[in-house]
């Protein structure tokens, strides 16, 4: 696709390409970061790296598609997945997640607004991404608290596994 001028296509497509599609993609990514911080970022990085599904990032996020960033995200995703199965680590990840997940949601959402200037993309990312990630994280916390209260924490790995395999 080297012969296509994506900037000209974006400008010609108008609000749909500039605002609606990035907002929907950003909302989906941010919602996923509310449940897992690193896996949605890894998926975004890989999709952008290989230009899958037409995913394109703003120029300021080019570092995300580098091999070191992808390796770091993959390592963090595996560590988060494994840590989520141990009750004490799960609790620590959830506590830290109240900060990291909205930030990751804002970064993921803002990075897909490639047809606007970086400041506007960042503001759009904060507006779309942070609340969505925080809402999903709060819902996840509610399930975890209920599990801890009813099973003394012994059911948390089962709840975590159910989120992994049946996220809805």
Over its length of 168 residues, how does the chain's per-residue pLDDT go in tens digits?
A: 456 565 665 555 677 778 888 999 999 999 999 999 999 999 999 999 999 988 999 999 999 999 999 999 999 999 999 998 887 888 899 899 999 999 999 999 999 999 899 999 999 999 999 999 999 999 988 888 888 889 887 787 777 776 656 554
Is residue 3 in a domain? no
Is residue 7 in a domain? no
The model's pTM is: 0.84
* Domain, as residue range, for 111: 21-165
Rounded to whole angstroms, how far apart are CA atoms 9 and 127? 25
Rounded to whole angstroms, how far apart are CA atoms 80 and 17? 33
Is residue 16 in a domain? no
Is residue 6 in a domain? no
Residue 27 is predicted with a pLDDT of: 94
Is residue 10 in a domain? no
Is residue 153 in a domain? yes
Chain centroid, CA 164 distance in Å: 15
Is residue 37 in a domain? yes
Is residue 13 in a domain? no
Contacts of 27 (CB under 8 A, 6+ apart): 109, 128, 129, 132
Number of structural domains (the chain) is: 1
């Amino acid at each position: 696709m080297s012969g296509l001028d994506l900037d000209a296509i974006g400008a010609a497509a108008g609000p749909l390409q500039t605002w609606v599609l990035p907002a929907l993609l950003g909302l989906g990514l941010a919602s996923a970061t509310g449940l897992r911080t690193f896996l949605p970022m890894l998926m975004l990085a890989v999709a952008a790296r290989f230009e899958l599904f037409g995913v394109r990032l703003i120029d300021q996020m080019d570092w995300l598609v580098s091999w070191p960033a992808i390796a770091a995200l993959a390592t963090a995703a595996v560590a988060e997945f494994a840590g989520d199965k141990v009750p004490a680590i799960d609790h620590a990840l959830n506590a830290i997640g109240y900060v990291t997940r909205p930030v990751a949601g804002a970064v993921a959402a803002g990075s897909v607004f490639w047809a606007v200037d970086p400041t506007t993309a960042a503001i759009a990312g904060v507006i779309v991404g942070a609340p969505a990630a925080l809402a999903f994280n709060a819902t996840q916390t509610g399930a975890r608290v209920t599990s801890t209260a009813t099973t003394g924490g012994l059911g948390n790995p089962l709840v975590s596994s159910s989120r992994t395999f049946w996220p809805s």
